[in-house]
């Protein structure tokens, strides 16, 4: 999000996530002009990396953070 705040780029995010990022970077949040269907947030990783402790730690960290938005 820091990249987006320093450019003319945009990101489409769930509003709850956007509000978290806004607390760290000067972002402008606007509603989409159209309705969109709900969606699931998923995490994917390469099978070769599943055995590494660092990869498992990172996946768990991301999953714990995403539970805060449920």
In tens, the pLDDT along 46-68 reads 888 888 899 889 888 888 887 77
pLDDT score at 69: 67
Q: 66 — alpha (psi -120 to 50), left (phi > 0) or beta?
A: alpha
- In sequence order, the 6+-apart residues with CB closer than 8 A to the CB of 45 are 55, 59
Neighbour count for residue 68 (Cβ, 10 Å)? 9
pTM: 0.53
What was the pLDDT predicted at 19? 87
Residue 17 per-residue DSSP state: H
Domain segments of the chain as ranges: 2-30+42-67
């Amino acid at each position: 999000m820091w990249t987006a705040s320093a450019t003319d780029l945009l990101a489409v995010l769930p509003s709850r996530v956007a509000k978290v990022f806004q607390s760290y970077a000067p972002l402008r949040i606007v509603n989409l002009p159209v309705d969109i269907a709900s969606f699931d947030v998923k995490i994917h990783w390469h099978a070769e990396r599943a055995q590494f402790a660092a990869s498992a730690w990172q996946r768990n960290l991301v999953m714990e953070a995403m539970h805060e938005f449920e």
